[in-house]
Chains A and B, each alone.
Chain A
């Protein structure tokens, strides 16, 4: 059987530094997978390799049976992989609604012709209704409908996190990658976020998250991948990972 996401012998080198070396992993449809590892382990680089932000030095990435290595980020996105960023990247000078609508526009046909003549045709009106419907749905999912008209820059930090997730959801992805969603959140907010991610997963979305917050990852993920110095050192359910000698060593720096 084929996996939803299949990463084979993937490597990335920056000058002399091997950021990701020969990583092989997979994600199945409907899974909630965590990716952990000490600072500089190559987690974000791996995300960037999957989403097309960084070209591969070696190996292949396949999504839904199709090779996606070498595609541009917007092509990867339109195939159904959507992501958030480690350091929040909302569009500050646009309203919350407009921010989220970009996600919906991104995965639908886009062009000047449609914008100019769309309102005159039934198809064009249906297209813009569809964008507005997806946008409202995503805003409802994260509970930001009440600030839809607000400028994104004016939202508090926690809400901007959810805004970024809403924008990713408006793309109606098959696979959602969250890069450190809990960074900068307090305990209560982190707990709410965990419940929210679980709910998304419960609705059938395949999710992968990079996280420093162990409690969060251990609490909600079904399977955990561990990276250290660019290599995969463990892959298994939370209970196995917790007691894995290689993982403990990587995190605690135990010498023999």
Chain B
């Protein structure tokens, strides 16, 4: 239609995407890797592969809210936990199977996120970050202390593995394929949200939310959507984790996990979906690869994060510098809205 469209190298939306890279990735995930895993035939390798995939999904979902929409989210693991507990409780109390718990885990996590977002979404950046931290802790404490319902620190045994229409998919290779299929579909959905005009509107909020507002972007609504959708995918990841390991406990969803997911997004580069995926693979596979170093490996992981912030301020593939984003958000907390004119008017709120 337009002569420009064919030459347009434009941005995230207008870019013509090749089919080669996606095809190679699909080949790797669905053919080469399973073949390799089957060749080694060690349960441990399957565990690592599945864990890496689940964290790819967690990191990709956080990419949407933190990397694209620019909301510093410090409680992502709690929504992962809500999903996992939903799956575990539905299975152990009602005897439901994976096909039902998977969507319900996502929906329950999204619902919790939506309710949380209602009062917090108008908070100015850094206050929002603190609010997500608090909510993450609250959800974690509920998992830990509501012993009657969640069995507290003892955790819950998930009696049913993956299955589809009555067929069990709980064998090693079937489990891998189930996790890979769900994660791939979810990542494709996230990439639709991120690499589209919708993603551009979210990015404009990250860049300058007042200005985005003046351009007609419904900033509050879009932020709520991004936050809720990201929780949905975290919940889906939680369901995968519950059915995959067969046992969950609150320790899997504590604050340090939120920080680990945040680190994946930051190391990979804020705003880049491939970056978030590479970040997740790096921070899951590196510690495993360094097992020979014993406790040293945690220091090595810390070192990687430290160096990446220091030497690659935008992460591996990022659009924005993480430090700059945080600094701006800290600044925004003290900055008066409206060109410094509204003195004293609801500082911290917008």
Besides the known contacts A94-B203, A101-B197, A133-B1, 15 further A-B residue pairs in the complex with CB atoms under 8 A apart? A51-B214, A83-B214, A91-B203, A94-B207, A102-B212, A105-B197, A105-B201, A111-B225, A114-B198, A116-B189, A119-B192, A135-B14, A148-B4, A149-B10, A171-B216
A74 to chain B: closest CB distance in Å? 5
Among the stretches A124-132, A180-188, A211-219, the one at the interface with B is A124-132
| 8 A Cβ contacts from A96-153 to B | 97-99, 101-107, 110-112, 114-116, 118-119, 128-129, 131-133, 135-136, 145, 148-149
| 8 A Cβ contacts from B183-213 to A | 189, 192-193, 196-201, 203-204, 207-208, 210-213
- Write out the residue numbers on chain A whose beta carbons fall within 8 Å of the beta carbon of B342: 14, 54
A152 to chain B: closest CB distance in Å? 9
- Write out the residue numbers on chain B whose beta carbons fall within 8 Å of the beta carbon of A145: 4
Q: Which 8 A-B pairs have the closest CB atoms?
A: A106-B216, A115-B198, A97-B10, A98-B11, A91-B207, A77-B216, A95-B11, A106-B215
Q: Which residues of A contact B (CB under 8 A)?
A: 14-15, 19, 44-45, 48, 51, 53-54, 72-74, 77-78, 82-83, 85, 89, 91-95, 97-99, 101-107, 110-112, 114-116, 118-119, 128-129, 131-133, 135-136, 145, 148-149, 167-168, 171
Are A149's CB and B11's CB within 8 A?
A: yes
Chain B interfacial residues counted at CB < 8 A: 47
B262 to chain A: closest CB distance in Å? 19
- Write out the residue numbers on chain A whose beta carbons fall within 8 Å of the beta carbon of B14: 97, 101, 132, 135
- Write out the residue numbers on chain B whose beta carbons fall within 8 Å of the beta carbon of A14: 341-343
Are A116's CB and B193's CB within 8 A?
A: yes
State in angstroms the CA–CA spacing of A103 and B338 once bound together: 20
Query: Could you say which of A111, A112, A119, A132 contacts B2, with CB atoms under 8 Å apart?
Result: A132
- Smallest CB-CB separation from B188: which chain A residue? A116
Does B219 count as interface, using CB distance less than 8 angstroms?
A: yes
Does B121 count as interface, using CB distance less than 8 angstroms?
A: no
- Write out the residue numbers on chain B whose beta carbons fall within 8 Å of the beta carbon of A93: 203, 207, 271, 319-320
Are B216's CB and A115's CB within 8 A?
A: no
- Smallest CB-CB separation from A114: which chain B residue? B198
Are A110's CB and B222's CB within 8 A?
A: yes
Are B200's CB and A102's CB within 8 A?
A: yes
Does B217 count as interface, using CB distance less than 8 angstroms?
A: yes
- Smallest CB-CB separation from A128: which chain B residue? B197
Are B338's CB and A48's CB within 8 A?
A: yes
